[in-house]
Amino acid sequence: MKRKIIQIDEQKCNGCGLCIPNCPEGALQIIDGKARLVSDLFCDGLGECIGHCPEGAIEIVEREAEPYDERKVMENIIKAGPNTIKAHLKHLYDHDQIEFYNIACEYLKEKGLPIPSVTESTPSCAPMGCPGQKMQRIEEKKQNRQQTVEISSALRQWPIQLHLLNPQAPYLDNADLLIAADCTSYAYANFHQRFMKDKITIIFCPKLDRDLEVYIDKLAQIFAGKNIQSVEIVRMEVPCCGGVEMIVKKAMEKAGKIIFTKMNTISIDGNIL
| pLDDT tens for the 273 residues of the chain, in order | 788 888 999 899 999 988 888 787 778 888 888 888 877 888 888 887 887 888 999 998 988 888 888 888 888 888 878 888 888 888 787 777 777 888 888 889 888 988 887 765 444 554 444 555 555 666 666 655 556 667 889 999 999 999 999 999 999 999 999 999 999 999 999 999 999 999 999 999 988 887 788 999 999 999 999 999 999 999 998 877 888 998 999 999 999 999 999 999 999 889 998
What is the pLDDT, as a whole number, of residue 117? 79
Cβ within 8 Å of residue 52, ≥6 positions away: 18, 19, 22
- Domain annotation covers residue 20: yes
Same domain, 189 and 259: yes
Model confidence over 158-178: pLDDT tens digits? 999 999 999 999 999 999 999
Q: How many domains does one find in the chain? A: 3
What is the pLDDT, as a whole number, of residue 143? 57
What are the residues facing 236 on neighbouring strands? 266
- Domain annotation covers residue 157: no
What is the pLDDT, as a whole number, of residue 8? 92
Same domain, 9 and 56: yes
- Domain annotation covers residue 152: no
What is the pLDDT, as a whole number, of residue 116? 84
What is the pLDDT, as a whole number, of residue 128? 42
- Name the residue range of residue 84's domain: 70-128
Model confidence over 124-138: pLDDT tens digits? 554 444 555 555 666
Same domain, 53 and 105: no
Query: Helix (H, G, I), strand (E, B), or coil: what is residue 30?
Result: strand
Same domain, 82 and 54: no
What is the pLDDT, as a whole number, of residue 229? 96
- Domain annotation covers residue 228: yes
Which CATH number does the domain housing residue 187 bear?
Answer: 3.40.50
In the listed set 16, 40, 64, which residue is the last one of a domain according to the structure?
A: 64
**How many angstroms separate the Cα of 244 from the Cα of each of 81, 237, 238, 250, 264?**
31, 11, 11, 10, 11
Same domain, 208 and 261: yes
- Domain annotation covers residue 114: yes
Same domain, 253 and 194: yes
- Domain annotation covers residue 45: yes
Helix pair 82-94, 70-77: axis angle to 10 deg:
150
Question: Is pTM beyond 0.85 here?
Answer: no
- Domain annotation covers residue 190: yes
Cβ within 8 Å of residue 191, ≥6 positions away: 184, 185, 234
What is the pLDDT, as a whole number, of residue 127? 46
